[in-house]
Structure 1
């Protein structure tokens, strides 16, 4: 029977909240790297005596914190939140309309953000704020309906900029909102449930508690699939005898 180690596995991550409570496992996550390093530190007492100068009189090796690295190319909101030290909330905005929203159009074809996004393609109208005269929305303004942006057309009557009143419909929106840069670290539990492909045995890697931080930037415009990376240390959790454990079993 082969004794090599080549794993295929499902990884689950259970993030802790600010009170130390577990929030529940997410996954399985496609993890491209899950590396564990167990470094040590050597302390040596060196002789300064005439006959033995430079020789070791005593050497003591002590363990250092277990180091972890994890990289993932799945990118749901919860994973991005960990990679960007953020948190996730659910956003539900009902459909509706905005009537006579005052918009100050910049000159030189620059965009301005409306109060709402995901605008409806029909029912948009505009008028000058100064006298309520109707504006030709086809000739004089351009709208990015998805982003909720509007600008004066370069060749229209408002090219030099103007204050207008804009009325429009907006569609309902449901989203997972990730707000980044809010947390100093990610504290989580990591569980790998897998198979050693060299011998067919079931394998489990358990890291009950880890303190991690991003180790690489998240490139939202990468040419390849976006990958996120975290590194840090395994913490000896309360009630545990080791910072991590690995097991193989045939049943």
Structure 2
């Protein structure tokens, strides 16, 4: 039987995934996936002759299939993807502004930065009072509102080393997200890829019912180029499916 058509394969596609460990969740696009690889591995076992006349020849040989490995790389960093890269649990930061009144803070030593335990502060809504309850002049302290640090300048005469000050501050409205890293050992994703072969224009579907993967790349927070993240693991045979993954192409 001859080939009907001799085509190459260059694929573009949209990768959709859902977390199988979260019930009642749907598929979401995971962004710009720059590589997705499936590799079938096997192990060959051979019974070798030690007999005269046939020494070294195979008497029996069998190939044992190993689980298919799956790996992919992406360069889209939203909340979900970043949590996966950091192997962490993500949560939403409250969108409303939160005010803290007269938080006691010990100035262990003037001239050093001290954490307020809160971040994303509104710099226009910070008030520092000394031990006597008198407002400290804004020129006598510095504030890093983004990460929530305060520094009482050495030149400040109204606050002394070891003194407890009280700081009132308010976070900015708008919210955001928070990730507690290193809390997840792996992810179990169902993956569907909406594909088009750019060579012949035919559309297709790559389906992986279960891919148990983990992050295997480092994240360079000060990279000069766009970061990317990679994940790897195995496809898993799910009840009701004849194989651990499948591909369909449509005429």
> Structure 1-normalised TM-score?
0.89
How far residue 180 of structure 1 moved from its aligned partner, in angstroms, is 1.8
How far residue 59 of structure 1 moved from its aligned partner, in angstroms, is 0.4
CA distance, structure 2, for counterparts of residue 80 and residue 134 of structure 1: 41
Q: 3-state DSSP class of the match of 2:205? A: strand
Task: From the superposition, tell whether residues 123 and 185 of structure 1 become closer, same or farther in structure 2 (CA, over 3 Å).
Answer: closer
Aligned residues of 1:152 and 1:161 also touching (Cα < 8 A): no
Tell me, yes or no, if structure 1 residue 99 matches structure 2 residue 101. Answer: yes
How far residue 106 of structure 1 moved from its aligned partner, in angstroms, is 3.7
Q: Identify the structure with the greater strand proportion.
A: 1
Once the two structures are overlaid, the 10-residue window that deviates more, 231-240 or 105-114, is 105-114
CA distance, structure 1, for counterparts of residue 38 and residue 174 of structure 2: 41
Moved over 4 A (4+): 158-161
Q: What's the Cα RMSD here?
A: 2.0
CA distance, structure 2, for counterparts of residue 5 and residue 116 of structure 1: 52
Aligned residues of 2:30 and 2:76 also touching (Cα < 8 A): no
Deviations 1:94-144 (A, max 9, x none): 224322211122426321221433222324322222x22432222x21011
Task: From the superposition, tell whether residues 82 and 122 of structure 1 become closer, same or farther in structure 2 (CA, over 3 Å).
Answer: closer
How far residue 178 of structure 1 moved from its aligned partner, in angstroms, is 2.2
CA distance, structure 2, for counterparts of residue 196 and residue 124 of structure 1: 58
Deviations 1:193-228 (A, max 9, x none): 011000000021111101111111122222222211
> Structure 2-normalised TM-score?
0.89
8, 23, 34: which is aligned to 1:4?
A: 8
Q: Partner of 2:39 in structure 1?
A: 37
CA distance, structure 2, for counterparts of residue 168 and residue 177 of structure 1: 20
Task: From the superposition, tell whether residues 165 and 78 of structure 1 become closer, same or farther in structure 2 (CA, over 3 Å).
Answer: same
In the alignment, structure 1 segments of 5+ residues that lack a partner are none
Q: Partner of 1:81 in structure 2?
A: 83
Q: 3-state DSSP class of the match of 2:94? A: strand
CA distance, structure 1, for counterparts of residue 70 and residue 76 of structure 2: 19
Aligned residues of 1:152 and 1:159 also touching (Cα < 8 A): no
In the alignment, structure 2 segments of 5+ residues that lack a partner are none
Task: From the superposition, tell whether residues 53 and 22 of structure 1 become closer, same or farther in structure 2 (CA, over 3 Å).
Answer: farther
Q: Partner of 2:191 in structure 1?
A: 190
17, 38, 48: which is aligned to 2:21?
A: 17
Tell me, yes or no, if structure 1 residue 244 matches structure 2 residue 245. Answer: yes
Q: Partner of 2:221 in structure 1?
A: 220
CA distance, structure 1, for counterparts of residue 220 and residue 153 of structure 2: 33
Once the two structures are overlaid, the 10-residue window that deviates more, 34-43 or 217-226, is 217-226
